[in-house]
Structure 1
Amino acid sequence: MRTTTVEGNHDGLAALGFLSLIVGAVSGLIGALFRCSLEQADSFRTMFHAWAQTENVTGLFIVVVATAASTAFAVWLVRRFAPQASGSGIPQVEAILHGERPPPPLVLIAVKFVGGVLAIGSGLALGREGPTVQMGASIAHTIGTLFRRGADDCRVLLAAGAGAGLAAAFNAPIAGAVFVLEELVRRFETRTAISALGASAGAIAVARLIHGDLPDFRLKAQPFPEFGTVSAYLALGAVVGLLGVAYSRSILSALTVADRLSGWPAEARAALVGAGVGLLACIAPDLVGGGDAITQRALEGTGTLTTIALVVTVRFALGAVSYAAGTPGGLFAPMLALGAQAGLAFGRICVHWFPGVAADPTAFAVVAMAAVFTAVVRAPITGIILATEMTGSFTLLLPMLAACFAAMIVPTMLHCPPIYDLLHDRMLQKKGDPAR
């Protein structure tokens, strides 16, 4: 005789599906407004830096102080009103889903929004998806509670809202839904799948009304690769796998250094990071910020090998240091920028030394975006779909499969856990302190 389980229980499924659409619509609205705010902040930062360059030393000083103050204020908002808003927010969401942390307060949405705009807009190498994922989860829990859903349905809606936040951040509805199943809950359940799909659909429907429906990145049409290129993409995946291991460990190392400075006020530590970012912005303004412009340049094949190596080196360090500041901000966008640059460099080398194997280095940049995501997060299906939706390059699915296959093996053999597992464990070890 078949046992009735939560999975087999379809009571209230229609109401849950309807609520998931509402959750998605609200998450999409907030996510689109957050993204538009970041774009305005980026434009202001560009004009501000251009003005500062005309003022010589005075301008440099003002930029450094302003960036330090913005970063410190973002951390103050987090510490004062919503400590759970620190960092990405994805480990916090996973902890709530596992019953290890209470649901987020409604004030978190405002703190994550304002703090994220201040930090990312100031030039820290952080992603917009962290704030939108956690804001989406908070919105979903609020709506579930408002409509008197049970604890199980509230958890389902919370996961779906987080996926809707990711969908809105990158204009990637399928990746948002798959992220819920592959990363957040790590199992397939009918109620969760329906809610995730509904929330992502609702988020994209609203977000595209505000932000448009074009893919995030412009990419020239890519031909279907020949079978002989598979070996090159396997090698790319192995190299990117090593890069992913190093990047994960660098983030943890930066957080460890920040912990050793715990005698300093959190705002002082953040101001120090902000001052460094402000100084870098005065020297090389194209290297700061979330990284979308850097990714776009890689997809256009821009830069010499020397320039690309410099960008990878600076962004590698900047991403870890920025995350350790404790402001709201995610890992995805900087990770994708790092992968695109590394992939372009690998492609350039292949084109030069093995012209019969590879013809266009930009294809390697796209594939490396998915591979570095896989190496760090260990969610290959989400990574492949995300890179495909963001670039519109469905012809590169076979290379992505090959590269992500290798990018999964390398960190696993090196005993490097997924980054969000590491951050989740770190959060629990800190006994009440917010995870970053």
Structure 2
Amino acid sequence: MAALSLFALLTGAVAGLVGALFRLALEQADLFRASILAWAGGRSGFGLVAAALACAAAAAAATWLVRRFSPHAAGSGIPHVEAVLRGELPPAPLTLLPVKFFGGLLSIGAGLALGREGPSVQMGATLAHEIGRRFGLGAADCRVLLAAGAGAGLATAFNAPVAGAVFVLEELAQHFERRMAIAALASSATAIALARVLLGDAPDLLAAALAPAPVEAYALFFIAGGVAGALAIAYNRTLLGVLAFCDGLTRIAPVWRAAVIGGAVGALGFFAPSLVGGGDPLTQSALLGDGDTVALILVFLLRFGLGAISYAAGTPGGLFAPLLTLGAQSGLLFGFACKALFPAVAIEARGFALVGMAAFFTGVVRAPLTGIVLVTEMTDNASLLLPMLAACFAAMLVPTLADDEPIYDSLRLQTLRRARALAAADRPEAA
């Protein structure tokens, strides 16, 4: 165990370095996109075409990298990591690393509504397996190290070390395993220690001080969780439906599908630059309680569809960040409604935005502890833990009663089907 712990510390440092560099690169990509869109905004029709073509080219290039060099780099990567941990697929080769890094940089930088955590998790897992392989560790130790590397990737993506370790046990392993827990804590700790040297230690999001929720408002948080659970069912089914529709477009090459989606995102960015990308500024705005109700509803609906369409492009990119945006927006809308309906209750609408992030995440992923810890660490705010527990309970209950599968279970099965299809397509060539 001592040797495995040392390797876990090394894994965390390497995963933290790569994850931090990925975040820094994404920040520059976002700035570059903003400058391109600002330039295009002053050139009317020509600017619109230029913005659409630039984003189309970036999305197409990302998909081409995936299809040409590393098919398992498509999408989040978390379903692939889960399949590897279950022994259903072999670990990804090291070639996935540059594809995930630069493909994610292209797709997220182009403005697709994708998160940075998926690439960070899969890159961390891939690096961890390579470290274990090169040092001659056995299969069991490599498995533990791979999970720890994935957790380090998540920790770095959101500056949330405890959430990274919890994610390993709750979502990846889905049971408590002492060796894996020790390795996950070690890797997340060193990942954050190194990443903060490059990124700083400020929380990702700012949530102004919130007063503890009055007891009479607890029932409202429970209802908010139920609403988040129902929205999560709709989101999961929308995402899977869009993926199935795009997979059915067999006459259109995946690269061209990605180009169309990227072009549409570029056109949207031309008219409303703040609505594209991972969504952190929108999440921050909701946590501050900003927004007109009608405009907030329209933005929520647009981002709801944009997240599913962006994921269907087949480029590297995760789901967490867009989920947190939708959760914050839907929570804020629910808070506005509660303030209007119950003026006598001391309600802060932005408190529902904070709780909504964890609740919607829980409803989609079915990992409540990860959601609660993640939101708490990202915002450095623990004032609404009890309301968050109530909301996450309801958000977990509603999809479970509706027999709605957690999104990563569904995506893992889809990953397995695609892997079998690729293997079947390769057999005639090998023969």
C-alpha displacement of 1:430: 3.5
Q: Identity percentage over the alignment?
A: 57
Superposed counterparts of 1:109-188, under 5 Å: 109-188=97-176
Query: What residue is the counterpart of 2:395 in the other structure?
Result: 407
After superposition, give the CA deviation of every residue in 1:327-376 in whole Å (9 maximum; x if it has no partner).
00000000000000111111111112212334211100000000001000
**Is 2:279 aligned against 1:299?**
no
1:351 pairs, out of 318, 335, 339, with 339
Question: 1:96 aligned to 2:122?
Answer: no
Deviations 1:134-179 (A, max 9, x none): 0000000001111111000000000000000000000000000000
Match for residue 201 of structure 1? 189
| In 1: Cα distance, 2:192 partner to 2:346 partner | 35
Whether the 8 Å contact between 1:377 and 1:420 is mirrored in structure 2 is: yes
- The aligned residue for residue 412 of structure 2 is 424
The answer (yes or no) to whether the contact 1:350–1:358 under 8 Å persists in 2 is no
> Secondary structure at the residue paired with 1:261?
coil
Matched, 1:282 2:270: yes
In structure 1, how many angstroms separate the alpha carbons of the residues matched to 2:219 and 2:343?
14
Match of 1:216 among 201, 204, 211: 204
Partner-residue secondary structure (3-state), 1:403: helix
Specify the code of the residue in structure 2 equivalent to 1:196: A
Residue in structure 1 matched with residue 426 of structure 2 by the alignment: none
- Counterpart residue identity of residue 400, structure 1: M
Distance 1:157 1:190 in 2: 13
Q: C-alpha deviations, 1:266-298, integer Å up to 9, x for none? A: 100100100110111111111100000110010
Q: Does structure 2 retain, via aligned residues, the 8 Å contact 1:85–1:328? A: yes
For residue 332 of structure 1, the aligned residue among 320, 324, 341 is: 320
Q: SS at the partner of 2:114?
A: coil
- TM-score, length-scaled by structure 1: 0.96
Figure out how many residues of one structure are paired with residues of the other and give that number: 422
The AA in structure 1 aligned to 2:323 is M
Counterparts of 1:296 and 1:143 in 2: how far apart (Å)? 37
Report how far residue 121 of structure 1 moved: 0.5
Report which stretch shifted further, 344-353 or 65-74. Answer: 344-353
Residue in 1 that maps onto 2:429 = none
1:316 and 2:304 correspond: yes
The separation in 2 between residues aligned to 1:215 and 1:163, in whole angstroms, is 18
Per-residue CA shift, 1:209-252, capped at 9, x if unaligned? 10010110011111222221110100100111111000101110
Larger displacement relative to structure 2 (170-179 or 354-363): 354-363
Say if 1:427 and 1:433, in contact at 8 Å, map to a contact too: no
Q: Tell me which residue corresponds to 1:30.
A: 18
Residue 48 (structure 2) aligns with: 60
Corresponding residue of 2:217: 229
CA distance in 2, matches of 1:408, 1:425: 21
Q: SS of the counterpart of 2:384?
A: helix
The residue matched to 1:395 in structure 2 has which SS?
A: coil
Gaps of 5+ in 2: 423-431
- The reply to whether residue 76 of structure 1 matches residue 76 of structure 2 is no
Gaps of 5+ in 1: 1-12
Taking the TM superposition and a 5 Å limit, the aligned residue runs for 1:249-260 are 249-260=237-248
Tell whether the 8 Å contact from 2:120 to 2:156 is kept in structure 1 after alignment: yes
Runs (4 or more) in structure 1 with deviation over 4 Å come to: none
Whether the aligned pair in 2 keeps the contact of 1:167 and 1:203 (CA below 8 Å) is: yes
Question: Is 1:243 the equivalent of 2:231?
Answer: yes
Shift of 1:428: 2.3
**Does structure 2 retain, via aligned residues, the 8 Å contact 1:370–1:380?**
yes
Does structure 1 conserve the Cα–Cα contact (< 8 Å) formed by 2:217 and 2:347? Answer: no
